[in-house]
């Protein structure tokens, strides 16, 4: 059987988006009361829940304590029911460990950790449903959760994946596209300053195309940041209305 | 894979929130739906897959008359310029999937324009037939056809959900109807209503048509619509016959057993009760065929099929499922030649096989067809005896294809023409498959027609390049840009020249040689940089990859790349600046390579010479210009290289190649001569070999897994039997232990009284060889090139005419950092698939070339009448000898038995091999005299006929004809 046609001659992708268009992003902040910060974010069919605890004093081995800034501890997991085939192990496998590490690096670049020396910030992210772009959805959800927790950040961290098909960069890949043999790249951006917090790519791509791909990813991230900004503002409005009463 | 839409839930309307670059979208209302279906995995698990499905408001109708849609460019015209009796108003056509699949021949006609292809239709076509999908895509790309693709599945108003209990097909049919309704409404509301533009749905499905009519659509069957077209009667013949029309001859008798459904076939194959294989019809006996069942290694078996019932409507090359008959029903292949004359309807073929043969083979019957491999077939029409009849039988040129029944009203014009016919189906109550006329190729026996036929029959893609392909050509006027200059080495000052056969317009190689200050020589081979123009993955590249090679016929060339490239921008003509890929060596005067480097360059050839001109310059001692000096240097080195190569055991083989002198006006061959070789031929060849070997080593070093190389396997020793025996008959010993031994013993093999003996031996040796093939280095471990005695080899030097060279160029460019790579280049499986195609195309091109030479030889003899010539016996067979005529480089068979005469006393001795006819014994290499004439009794299969004149054997040989140039005696005794 012929593979899927990822980009039609008319310029539409499998799900009807054009090359630069993102999936629909919906988010809510403050979904859990007992956590310090929490957020739920959907990007198309990829859904993630992020919860933040802290900053609090170091737990577990005190040897990891840093004297000039806070330690960020990330844990990434996928719900057993998140993929088409049941997952045997929700977390702790190599992929999740790697993803946790990437999240940690991303947020170390964004959170102003120097304000909380000798303390710890925990970020837990769980993928409830997976349909491509897990990393970026996690970052976006975690950003909202960190904001919800009131931890100062340099800027929103927004992430997005882009793929390269027929000499065209496709923004925000869904699972069908990711698995269709596309060279993809994940990028986390601090949009206001245009600083890259993390860039990850494990596919083969010629360096000539890298620049266009990064450009596309940055534009897509800026798109995400607008949505997140709106979510935060709306959330604040709701909360302030409540408190006023 | 079963796929169905189970549940679709509307999430609701929302504004899409994208980044600034998606500005277009922020104003567009987007609706999100999700599409759920269940998929079965290979291991048997069932997966539920959920995909998003966005519906949009910014998909335009593509019509010129529309003022509502904010489209930038339109495809569909205001004036639809298609006139039909049924619809007097201007209209657009919407064909459904089956119409596209079956009537693509009609849709391709230039008359059919302004057609809306729905996405639903396009996707279904893509699923069901790759070739049709490609054809419809080509049509869509063609601007003059005005075909518009409407993305109806993502349009908010035309998307529909599958209802409970609705089959996928019904859902798609409904989607097509909904889209057609939308178009009708849409065109009505726009101010275009004044034009009265309408849409017409074409479908052959009765149910679909009825439902469409109920919902107020204009709907026609494809057939009735095409028939109603004014001034296009011949289009009707192209209509494929469809089953529901019931217009085939329905005899009450069911001739064939029913084919089993695919599910049962698959179950049967799994359980081992059926075998799957490729059906190969016999050339000689229409009631017999074999099915080649591939197995692991040596396990491949062949199943014999006999009798119409057992063949059960399989056509040559189909993939079929066969069931073995019980062992006592097994038979031996019959040795009878049977041609289907159409009369033998009722004879029972098994009756012929009464003889108790010893060599019975597994025998079986076809129970089902797994995949049809039908293509349009070339052939001729047998006009029905009844004058008014519209049904006729068609006889394909390929004897392995059954006759096809077609319906046409133009039988009288088509009689005597070569035509193409496609099979539509083969009902179980019909003796012959049903088909439809595709197009006429021209009068039989005419040069153009026959050329076309041999291209089609050898599967040589030869259509004009499509618009999509041409769009990737550089824009003229083309010039080398400063960026090119920056990236390339400037070699324009070098005295580069090219040496080619006369009349060559696609010059892909040029050479130079100069003395360096340190006394060494610098030699450069410059190859046209085709990969600069053909970028990976675009339509031009795909087309070239598919064509694989340029095909040279007598007086005609079927290009692999469009002419602008092959004869102009890539051709290294003299005194123009061209881009090249150069392979440069520093050598000492003993032709030892001291240094090799590769670079992309710019050259300016100083002269395009023919072999003869180059030879003249070398020989003429009065000439001392740079070009001549360069040529002399090259020639000197080439001789050393050649000597060294031969010392290493490279073979010099021989085959006679003929060249026709072609009349400049009629293009008929006037005379033929065998090609002669000059020193300069081998000079160019030597450097090409050297370049190929150097490049092969380089790309293999860089990419050990995915280098495209060429190998020539050593033939199995048994292949040489005939050569050894033949040489022995003249008391010459041939050693075949190694290439070197063979080469040496061939050099030694001379017979004083017989100067032509050595050439004959070399011709024989060539026949013993294996085919050289392309392969991917990651998929094979044996790289050796037997004929050239080189451990590694590839093709680098002719990228204009071979696709393999383009790939090698790309690999080399990546290796030296001059170009970027792409995933397919580094994928050994894709590379390997490409090699298979290239090998196939090369083989077919070779066959086509030979067929073209044979055809021209026939034309030549047609004008010459009967000729008497001397020849040599090349092979001895049981009932014939094969004679080579050196003058024409042609071989023919002299038969000693024929149907209508009692055979002479024949004794065949396999050891010699010799054949004794009456008293005379024929040995290999015997000199004979034959008379040559053209046998035109069968117009589809004209052939050269030879008859023996000398030695005279009573009852066998014929008296020498008096040579009257125009006398055409076609009926000679054999």
- Per the CB < 8 A criterion, the answer to whether A124 and A87 are in contact is no
Nearest CA in chain B to A204: B823
pLDDT category, B876, cuts 50, 70, 90? Answer: confident
A-chain CB neighbours of B149 within 8 Å are 8-10
What is the structure's pLDDT at B677? 67
Mean pLDDT: which of B81-85, B171-175, B223-227, B330-334 is highest? B171-175
DSSP count for chain B of H helices, then E strands: 26, 38
Q: Which residues contact A185 (CB under 8 A, 6 or more apart)?
A: A161, A162, A163, A164, A199, A200, A201, A203, A205, A213, A214, A217
Give the mutation candidate from B1, B11, B18, B466 for the A interface (greatest A CB count, under 10 A): B18
Helices B539-547, B828-864: axis angle to 10 degrees equals: 60
> If contacts are CB pairs under 8 Å, which of residues 162-201 in chain A contact chain B?
166-167, 174, 176, 181, 183
CATH tag for B51-238 (out of 3.40.50.1010, 3.40.50.300, 3.10.20.30, 1.20.1340.10): 3.40.50.1010
Residues above pLDDT 90, as percent of chain B: 11
B161 DSSP assignment: P
Say if residue B345's pLDDT is above 80. Answer: no
Q: Mean per-residue pLDDT for B694-706?
A: 89
Question: Using one digit for the tens of pLDDT, what is the confidence trace for B23-55?
Answer: 333 334 466 677 777 777 777 778 888 888 888
3-state secondary structure of B900: coil
CA-nearest of B680, B685, B672 to B612 is: B680
Whether residues B1 and A207 touch (CB distance < 8 A) is answered with no
pLDDT for the residue numbered A1: 36
Mean pLDDT, chain B, as a whole number?
79
Q: What is the reported pLDDT for B242?
A: 59
Q: Give B233 or A127, the one with higher predicted confidence.
A: A127
Written as six digits, the tokens of B474 are: 């550089």
pLDDT confidence bin for A39, thresholds 50/70/90 = very high
- In the three-class reduction of DSSP (H, G, I as helix; E, B as strand; rest coil), residue B315 is classed as coil
* Gap from A135 CA to chain B (nearest CA, Å): 19
Residue in chain B nearest A24 by alpha carbon? B16
Report the Cα B621 to chain-centroid distance in Å. 48
Give the whole-angstrom CA distance, residue B600 versus residue B294: 45
The whole model's pTM is what?
0.64
Q: Which residue in B17, B159, B467, B483 has the most chain A C-beta atoms within 10 A of its own C-beta, making it the best mutation to test that interface? A: B17
Choosing among A5, A18, A21, A137, which should be mutated to test the B contact, i.e. which has the most B CBs within 10 A? A21
Q: How many CB pairs under 8 A join A and B?
A: 99
The CATH code for residues A25-243 is: 3.30.230.70
Taking any CB pair shorter than 8 Å as contact, residues of chain B touching chain A are 1, 14, 16-22, 25, 30, 32, 34, 45, 47-56, 119, 126-127, 130, 137, 140, 149, 151, 153-154, 537, 820-823, 826
Residues of A in contact with B54 (CB under 8 A): 15-17, 24
3-state helix, strand, coil in chain B (%, to 5): 30, 25, 40
Q: Where are the domains of chain B?
A: 51-238, 467-704+794-844, 865-950
**pLDDT band at residue B500 using 50, 70 and 90 as cut-offs:** confident
Residue of B nearest to A217 (CA): B19
Contact A110, A122 (CB under 8 A): no
A86 close to B (CB below 8 A): no
- pLDDT (tens digit per residue) in B852-867: 888 887 777 777 777 7
Q: Which residues of A touch B30 (CB under 8 A)?
A: 24
Domain parsing of chain A, residue ranges: 25-243
Element (H, E) at B486: helix B482-487
User: Under an 8 A CB cutoff, do A219 and B53 touch?
Assistant: no
- Is the pLDDT at B675 greater than 90? The verdict is no
d(CA B706, CA B235): 48
| Residue B226 backbone phi and psi in degrees, to 5 | -65, -40
B-facing residues of A in 111-140 (CB < 8 A) are: 131
Chain B interface includes A44 (CB < 8 A): yes
- Which residues of chain A does B1 touch, with a Cβ-Cβ cutoff of 8 Å? 1
List, for residues B390-404, the tens digit of each pLDDT value: 778 888 888 788 888
Cβ distance B1 to A17 less than 8 Å, yes or no, reads no
The chain B residue lying nearest A19, using CA atoms, is B22
Sheet holding A195-200, edge to edge: A168-171, A158-165, A183-190, A195-200
CA distance B11 to chain A (A): 11
Rounded to an integer, the average pLDDT of B114-135 is: 88
Question: What pLDDT score does B356 carry?
Answer: 43
Correct CATH for B865-950 of 2.40.30.10, 3.60.20.10, 2.40.50.140, 3.40.640.10: 2.40.50.140
* ipTM summary value: 0.89
**B51/A174 Cβ within 8 A:** yes
- Chain B residues with beta carbon closer than 8 angstroms to that of A177: none
Of B25, B45, B826, which has the smallest distance from its Cβ to A21's Cβ? B25
**Partners of residue B127 in chain A, C-beta under 8 Å:** 1-2
pLDDT at B654 (0 to 100)? 63
pLDDT at B899: 56
The 10s digit of each residue's pLDDT in B266-318 is 888 888 888 888 888 877 777 888 888 876 655 667 888 888 888 888 888 88
Residue B699's SS3 state is helix
Question: Which of A24, A187, A210 is the best substitution to test chain B (most B C-beta atoms within 10 A)?
Answer: A24
Q: Do B21 and A219 lie within an 8 Å CB cutoff?
A: yes
Q: Do B51 and A45 touch (CB under 8 A)?
A: yes
The contacts found for B960-965 with CB under 8 angstroms, 24 or more apart, are B960/B868, B960/B929, B960/B931, B961/B866, B961/B868, B961/B931, B963/B865, B963/B866, B963/B867, B963/B868, B964/B865, B964/B866, B965/B864, B965/B865
Using the Cβ of A158 and the Cβ atoms of chain B, whether some distance falls under 8 Å is answered with: no
Tell me whether residues B51 and A176 touch, CB distance under 8 A.
yes
């Amino acid at each position: 059987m012929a593979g899927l046609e990822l980009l039609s001659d008319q310029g539409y992708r499998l799900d009807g988006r054009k090359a630069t268009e993102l999936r629909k992003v919906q988010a809510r902040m403050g979904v859990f009361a007992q956590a310090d910060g929490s957020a739920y974010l959907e990007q198309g069919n990829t859904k993630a829940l992020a919860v933040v605890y802290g900053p609090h004093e170091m737990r577990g081995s005190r040897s990891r304590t840093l004297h000039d800034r806070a330690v960020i501890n990330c844990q990434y997991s996928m719900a057993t029911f998140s993929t088409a085939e049941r997952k045997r192990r929700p977390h702790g496998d190599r992929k999740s460990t790697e993803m946790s590490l990437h999240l940690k690096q991303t947020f170390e670049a964004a959170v102003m950790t120097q304000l909380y020396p000798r303390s710890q910030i925990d970020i837990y992210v769980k993928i409830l449903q997976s349909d491509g772009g897990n990393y970026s959805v996690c970052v976006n959800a975690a950003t909202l959760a960190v904001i919800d927790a009131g931890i100062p950040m340099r800027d929103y961290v927004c992430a997005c994946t882009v793929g390269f098909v027929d000499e065209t960069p496709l923004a925000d890949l869904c699972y069908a596209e990711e698995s269709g043999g596309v060279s993809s790249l994940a990028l986390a951006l601090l949009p206001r300053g245009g600083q890259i917090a993390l860039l990850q790519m494990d596919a083969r791509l010629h360096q000539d195309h890298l620049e266009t791909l990064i450009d596309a990813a940055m534009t897509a991230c800026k798109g995400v940041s607008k949505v997140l900004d709106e979510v935060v503002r709306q959330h604040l409005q709701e909360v302030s209305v409540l408190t006023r009463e | 894979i079963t796929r169905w839409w189970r549940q679709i839930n509307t999430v609701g309307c929302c504004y899409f929130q994208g980044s600034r670059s998606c500005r277009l979208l922020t104003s567009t209302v987007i609706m999100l739906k999700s599409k759920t279906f269940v998929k079965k995995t290979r291991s048997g698990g069932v997966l539920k897959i959920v995909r998003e499905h966005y519906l949009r408001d910014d998909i335009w109708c593509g019509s010129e008359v529309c003022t509502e849609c904010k489209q930038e460019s339109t495809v569909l015209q205001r004036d639809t310029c298609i006139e039909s009796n049924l619809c007097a108003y201007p209209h657009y056509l919407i064909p459904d999937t089956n119409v596209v699949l079956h009537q693509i021949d009609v849709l391709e006609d230039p008359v059919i324009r302004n057609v809306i292809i729905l996405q639903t239709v396009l996707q279904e076509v893509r699923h069901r037939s790759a070739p049709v999908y490609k054809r419809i895509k080509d049509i869509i790309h063609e601007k003059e056809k005005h075909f518009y693709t409407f993305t109806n599945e993502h349009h908010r108003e035309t998307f529909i959900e599958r209802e409970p209990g609705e089959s996928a097909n019904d859902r798609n049919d409904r989607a097509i109807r909904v889209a057609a309704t939308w178009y009708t409404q849409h065109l009505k509301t726009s101010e275009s209503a004044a034009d009265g533009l309408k849409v017409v749905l074409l479908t052959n499905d009765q149910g679909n048509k009825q439902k469409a009519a109920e919902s107020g659509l204009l709907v026609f069957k494809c057939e009735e619509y095409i028939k109603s077209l004014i001034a296009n009667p011949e289009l009707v013949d192209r209509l494929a016959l469809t089953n529901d029309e019931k217009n085939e001859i329905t005899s009450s008798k069911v001739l064939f057993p029913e084919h089993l459904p695919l599910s049962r076939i698959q179950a049967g194959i799994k359980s081992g009760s059926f075998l799957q294989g490729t059906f190969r019809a016999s050339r000689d006996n229409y009631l017999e065929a074999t099915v080649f069942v591939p197995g692991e290694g040596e396990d491949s078996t062949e199943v014999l099929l006999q009798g119409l019932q057992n063949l059960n409507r399989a056509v040559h090359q189909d993939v079929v499922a066969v069931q073995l008959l019980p062992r006592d029903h097994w038979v031996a292949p019959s040795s009878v030649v049977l041609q289907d004359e159409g009369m033998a309807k009722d004879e029972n073929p098994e009756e012929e096989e009464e003889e108790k043969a010893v060599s019975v083979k597994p025998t079986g019957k076809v129970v089902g067809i797994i995949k049809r491999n039908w293509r349009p077939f070339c052939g001729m029409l047998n006009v029905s005896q009844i004058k008014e009849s519209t049904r006729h039988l068609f006889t394909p040129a390929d004897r392995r294809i059954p006759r096809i029944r077609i319906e046409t009203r133009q039988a009288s014009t088509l009689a005597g023409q070569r035509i193409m016919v496609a099979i539509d189906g083969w009902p179980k109550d019909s003796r012959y498959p049903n088909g439809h006329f595709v197009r006429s190729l021209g009068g039989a026996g005419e040069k153009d027609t026959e050329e076309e036929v041999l291209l089609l029959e050898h599967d040589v893609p030869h259509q004009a390049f499509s618009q999509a392909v041409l769009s990737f050509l550089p824009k003229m006027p083309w010039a080398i840009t400063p960026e090119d200059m920056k990236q390339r080495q400037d070699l324009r000052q070098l005295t580069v020249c090219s040496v080619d056969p006369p009349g060559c317009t696609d010059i892909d190689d040029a050479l130079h040689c100069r003395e360096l200050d340190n006394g060494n020589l610098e030699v450069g081979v410059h190859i046209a940089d085709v990969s600069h123009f053909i970028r990976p993955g675009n339509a031009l590249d795909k087309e070239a990859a598919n064509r694989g090679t340029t095909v040279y016929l007598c007086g005609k060339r079927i290009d692999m790349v469009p002419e602008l490239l092959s004869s102009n921008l890539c051709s290294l003509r003299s005194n123009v600046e061209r881009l090249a890929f150069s392979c440069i060596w520093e050598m000492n005067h003993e032709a030892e390579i001291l240094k090799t480097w590769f670079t992309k360059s710019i050259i300016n050839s100083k002269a395009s010479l023919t072999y003869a001109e180059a030879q003249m310059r070398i020989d003429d001692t009065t000439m001392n210009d740079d070009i001549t000096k360069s040529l002399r240097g090259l020639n000197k080195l080439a001789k050393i290289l050649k000597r060294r190569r031969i010392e290493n055991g490279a073979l010099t083989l021989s085959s006679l190649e003929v060249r026709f002198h072609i009349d400049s006006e009629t293009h008929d061959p006037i005379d033929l001569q065998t090609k002669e070789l000059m020193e300069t031929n081998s000079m160019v060849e030597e450097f090409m070999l050297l370049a190929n070997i150097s490049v092969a080593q380089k790309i293999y070093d860089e990419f050990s897994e995915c280098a495209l190389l060429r190998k020539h396997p050593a033939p199995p020793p048994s292949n040489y039997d005939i050569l050894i025996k033949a040489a022995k008959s003249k008391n010459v010993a041939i050693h075949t232990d190694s290439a070197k031994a063979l080469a040496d013993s061939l050099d030694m093999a001379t017979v004083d009284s017989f100067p032509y003996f050595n050439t004959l031996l070399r011709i024989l040796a060539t026949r013993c060889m294996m085919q050289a093939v392309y392969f991917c280095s990651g998929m094979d471990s044996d790289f050796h090139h037997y004929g050239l005695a080189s451990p590694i080899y590839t093709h680098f030097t002719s990228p204009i005419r071979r696709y393999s060279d383009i790939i090698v160029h790309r690999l080399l460019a990546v290796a030296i950092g001059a170009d970027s790579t792409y995933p397919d280049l580094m994928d050994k499986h894709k590379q390997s698939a490409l090699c298979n195609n290239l090998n196939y195309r090369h083989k077919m091109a070779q066959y086509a070339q030979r067929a073209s030479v044979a055809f021209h030889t026939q034309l030549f003899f047609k004008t010459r009448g009967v000729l008497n010539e001397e020849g040599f016996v090349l092979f001895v067979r049981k009932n014939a000898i094969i004679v080579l005529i050196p003058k024409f480089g042609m071989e023919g068979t002299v038969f000693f038995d024929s149907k209508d005469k009692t055979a002479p006393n024949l004794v065949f001795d396999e050891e010699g091999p010799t054949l004794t006819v009456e008293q005379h014994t024929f040995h290999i290499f015997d000199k004979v005299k034959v008379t040559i004439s053209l046998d035109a009794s069968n117009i589809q299969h004209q052939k050269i006929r030879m008859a023996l004149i000398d030695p005279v054997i009573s009852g066998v040989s014929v008296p020498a004809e008096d040579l009257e140039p125009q006398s055409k005696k076609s009926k000679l005794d054999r």
